[in-house]
Homo-oligomer: A and B are copies of this chain.
Amino acid sequence: MTNTQVTLVQIDNYGPWTVTPTPRREADLQTLQSRLYADISQFVGNRGGYVFFTRFDNMIAVTNGLSMDDHALLQESVGNRYPVTLSLGVATGTDPVQALADATQRIQDAGSAQDDDRRECLEGRTVDEPHRTDADVQIAHFDVINATGNYTDELNAFDTFIEIEQGYAELMGHMRHAHDSLSFFVGGDNIIVVCPDIETAAYEEAIAHVEETVDVKLQVGVGRGEDAHVAGYGAKHALETCRADGTRVELEWET
């Protein structure tokens, strides 16, 4: 049974800030957002977590292994180095969607994302050390079969991007509603999915659904672990098996 710890990272009052007193240069906003994401990725990532850029002003992280003190330190460090601040909501559960909903609720209860008085809120609870297990996190790593040969080297770069995006959009909606999972595009043709305790049949069904609906052929490796890094690393290795053997679904714990 998984017990995923999910953190919602929300930049405080970001929309209004981007146009105050007049609209700020887009290139600076893009730089600020992507560097802030990169910093959070390093902080969370070198403690075993994963963070996804999502909308950049709202990022979603899997943070098993990070304490509330770790979260507070991240918040302090960003506050010291950026012109914006972060609010963080943390929650846990067997269902990643429900955990995220709880994490979101904690931040929403503290005030609106565009409430100038709600700054650096830090709410929620983590999985305590004695209750952690090596099956707390399940990660699936999907990619598009032969994306370079079929798309990147053949279509113009935007039409390739449309294909990848369509595959992602279809998978993200399906995995969320059919399998209570959170799917994130992570660049290239890669999608990382935070899952509850689901098995091969679910992944096969999802792959078939995406292929039927938008004609994008996916393969997936799945891993489990005490944190996102361990689970995700297992998933990457399992995906290498797909690539080597031509299989479509590989569970790392069955190989």
Contacts and interface: CB of A to CB of B under 8 A. Distances in A.
Interface residues of A, number: 90
Given A157-B60, A158-B60, A187-B55, A240 B173 contact: no
Contact of A26 (B8, B97, B186): B186
Given A19-B236, A38-B30, A113-B148, A25 B229 contact: yes
Q: For A58, A81, A182, which residue has the most chain B Cβ atoms within 10 angstroms?
A: A81
A39 interface: yes
B33 A153 contact: no
Nearest to A105: B156
B26 A50 contact: yes
Given A31-B38, A35-B38, A39-B42, A229 B26 contact: yes
A97 B156 contact: yes
A27 B15 contact: no
Contact of A73 (B29, B46, B53, B166): B46
A116 to B, nearest CB: 13
A73 to B, nearest CB: 6
Given A25-B77, A46-B77, 8 more contacts: A23-B240, A35-B38, A46-B74, A58-B157, A113-B148, A113-B153, A166-B169, A169-B169
A179 interface: no
A189 B55 contact: yes
